[in-house]
Structure 1
Amino acid sequence: MNRRTFSKAVAIGAVASLAASRGIAASTDKPAPARNVVFVHGLYADGSCWSKVIARLQAKGLNAMSVQNPLTTLPESVEAAECVLARQDGPTVLVGHSFGGMIVTQAGVHPNVSALVYVAARGPDADEDYAALAKTYPAAPASAGIVFDGDEGWLSEEAFLRDFAGDLPAAEAKVLYAVQEPFRKPLLAGKVTRAAWRSKPSFYAVSTEDRTINPDLQRFMAKRMGAKTIELPASHLSLISRPDEVSALILEAAGQTA
């Protein structure tokens, strides 16, 4: 190795080290062009919540698939996403909404994943207690509307309409409420052991009117991961109320234009 090459290597290493020490993703490279997109839903939803975005991406010629997240434990949910990722042929953008960000963060290290997109989503660091992080911000109103029957939980209709889907027409929100997938309490105790956003190009759509995840918490996580960030005047369900903007961000992560 000559002196110039050695000096360049040292400089790159120093930048990566500095980025890691500041909690910023070390890799901000332009993502590889991708033809595949895999979606992961969060709590109070099922895979159909991505339908509007999927239709727009399919119209652009992308292959899209939505994981049916079991919402039982974090390892089982990650495994479900990894199974779908393994079926993809070539670079794949992995997209997560809400709690789905936990799964994207862990499963995103899969070699097929070329970029990550977080939509009003959790973006924890490895071994981080997300609940403790969230408590450093004012509590989001939706959390008070969780209803439990044993270890199975879901969001009450009142909280769903007001705090989860507040910018959707009531009739549409009621249908989404009716098809929400209950989650199991053990799911909430899980911690990611890897943070894919530290090595993969990342993108984040903040919902500024969110009553499920505090918007300032979203901004903190997006900044920490060094994500390309957009802000949408939307409820927690921007993927449904703002599908054009969310689709455009995913297309950018796939190396394409809207």
Structure 2
Amino acid sequence: MRFPTLRSVVAQAISALCLHTITAVPALAAPVKNIVVVHGAFADAAGWRPVYNILTKDGYHVTLVQQPLTSFNDDVTATKRVLNSLDGPCVLVGHSYAGTVISEAGNDGHVKSLVYIAAHAPDAGETMADNNKKYPGTPVSIVGTPDNFVYLKPTDYPSQFTPDLPHAQAEFEAHAQIPLAVSEFSAQVSDPAWKTKPSWYMVATADKMMSPNLQRMYAARAHANTVAIDGASHAVFESHPREVAALIEQAAQHSGE
């Protein structure tokens, strides 16, 4: 009977150790490169151009959802339509009312993380209307229409929605806003995605459209990675695009972990 030599035993041990080392170490996950942005009420996606420019320059593929604001289901469907067109994972971003939309649509398999920009993040059974009552903010000039839509009074838009933007820009946006179906205020999320997916949150501390305290509550409850922008209005994505883009990129860089 031939016995293995000491040299062959050592060689076999080293080979086994190397194989174990190679198979035991997982590959590092690549950062997510797709960003999907959903605009909020009384606005459209055009205001996100400064953030879009920064993200695309940094190598991200950015898609902006132009939701119709005709019903919660319509807005979720519009968002899912974009998600279904992607060829890989994404970070889903929502502003204001759109936080409710991404909390529902964010359960889609493409979504790895959520970013809330001064946005609602309701739990199941909650509504924007009820949560606004629990955390009242500054009174705003909302006007109703005969067919149950609402919009922000154009003369008050610059002082309430966009006080930290140039007045000419605010005036234009006041007359370009998309009316919101009243039913959106009572929309409910069936299974909030922030309960199972990592979240980031930006608080606008001088927000007159949505209570900063409500924003802080949402962020804390979701255990979100949170930043606060001092003096920022509800249009923080326009007045502080670099900070908003940085938060989105932070989410993208950590969503593959």
Q: Distance in 1 between matches of 2:128 and 2:97?
A: 10
**Bigger radius of gyration, 1 or 2?**
2
Between the aligned partners of 1:32 and 1:224, the Cα distance in structure 2 is: 28
The answer as to 2:203 corresponding to 1:206 is yes
2:223 aligned residue: 226
The residue type equivalent to 1:121 in the other structure is: A
Matching residue's letter, 1:222: A
The one-letter amino acid paired with 1:227 is A
Structure 2 residue aligned with 1:174: 171
The residue number in structure 1 matching 2:45 is 47
Where does 1:48-67 land on structure 2 (aligned, <5 Å)?
48-67=46-65
For residues 104 and 32 of structure 1, the distance between their equivalents in structure 2, rounded to whole angstroms, comes to 23
1:153 Cα offset (Å) = 1.4
Residue identity matched to 1:207: A
| Residue of structure 2 in register with 1:147 after alignment | 143
C-alpha distance in 2 between matches for 1:38 and 1:49: 14
Superposition deviation, residue 32 in structure 1: 6.8
2:9 maps to what in 1?
A: none
Match of 1:189 in 2: 186
Partner of 1:16: none
Partner of 1:85: 83
Partner of 1:160: 157
TM-score, normalised by the number of residues in structure 1:
0.84
Aligned residues of 1:141 and 1:163 also touching (Cα < 8 A) = no
Cα distance in 1 for residues equivalent to 2:39 and 2:138: 19
1:103 & 1:226 partners in 2: Cα distance?
19
Counterpart amino acid of residue 69 in structure 2: L
Opposite residue 155 of structure 2, the aligned amino acid is E
Question: Following the alignment from structure 1 to structure 2, what is the Cα–Cα distance between the partners of residues 110 and 98?
Answer: 20
The ranges of structure 1 where at least 4 consecutive aligned residues each deviate by more than 6 angstroms after the TM superposition are: none
Distance in 2 of aligned mates of 1:91 and 1:140: 38
Contact residue 47 and residue 238 of structure 2 kept, 8 A: yes
Alpha-carbon separation, structure 1, partners of 2:185 and 2:33: 32
Q: Is the 8 A contact 1:33 1:91 kept in 2?
A: no
* TM norm structure 2: 0.84
Query: For the residues of structure 1 that align with 2:131 and 2:145, how far apart are their CA atoms?
Result: 27
- Which secondary structure does the structure 2 equivalent of 1:254 belong to? helix
2:214 is matched by which residue type in structure 1?
L
1:2-151 superposed matches below 5 A:
33-142=31-140, 145-150=141-146, 151=148
**Percent of aligned positions that are identical:** 40
CA drift of 1:225 comes to 0.2
CA distance in 2, matches of 1:204, 1:41: 15
Q: Which region of structure 1 is more displaced relative to structure 2, 178-187 or 70-79?
A: 178-187
CA distances 1:142-180 after superposition (whole Å, capped 9, x unpaired): 2xx111121121101233111110111101111111211
Task: Name the CA distance, whole Å, in 2 between partners of 1:223 and 1:187.
Answer: 24
**Structure 2 unaligned blocks of 5 or more:** 1-28
CA–CA distance in 2 between the matches of 1:94 and 1:221? 17
Q: Distance in 2 between matches of 1:191 and 1:173?
A: 31
Greater alpha carbon shift after TM alignment, 42-51 vs 197-206: 42-51
Q: Quick check: 212-221 or 125-134, which moved more?
A: 125-134
